[in-house]
Structure 1
Amino acid sequence: MAEQEHLHPGDDEQLITLIDDKGNEELYQVLFTFDSEDYDKSYVLLYPQSASDDEEVEIQAFSFTPDENGDASQGDLYPIEDDDEWAMVEEVLNTFLADDDAE
């Protein structure tokens, strides 16, 4: 399981453009990044920049290769294809959201 001290909340400057299968581009903001020692990977969770605060959004998750500053917006994104890996990412997200609600 990823350790919580490895969570790095996104800031306003970390934006990533995703391109769908039809070539449509959408700008996403980094929610947070974290590292998993179990999988020896870094992960980034994104949400659409256009989403309003009261809107329910679909969060996108990828593993990524960070740049020299650990920035996700400059590295390569990779799909998460393993079910156990997805379960770990969802657990980290749920913990992050529960901690955010508690504040």
Structure 2
Amino acid sequence: MLFELSTPDEISLELARRLREHRLAQNLTHKELADRAGLSKGMVAAFEKTGKASFGNFIKLVVTLGLVTQLNELLIFKATSIKQMEMASHKRQRARRFR
């Protein structure tokens, strides 16, 4: 699945599908995963079905399934131009609002 061509809901469902595959590969039931992650069985089942979960609960599932190292590349800024490289060398603390 190409995330670039997907809606946010489609991406959420795909991530839920991928986590489900990992759960099944580890031979875990919804209850076992939920217990290990400190979540309810219903939350895990609902997430796999709908792709809806809080970010915190999603991270708990990722960590519990041993997939946290795969998050290392997520959202790392990669400069695509010289100007972006120059701007990246000056770490901004916060954005400034224009008046």
TM bin (shorter chain): under 0.3
TM-score (norm 2): 0.26
| Greater fraction strand | 1
- Greater relative contact order (CA < 8 Å, ≥ 6 in sequence): 2
The structure with the largest alpha-carbon Rg is: 2
TM-score (norm 1): 0.25
| Greater fraction helix | 2
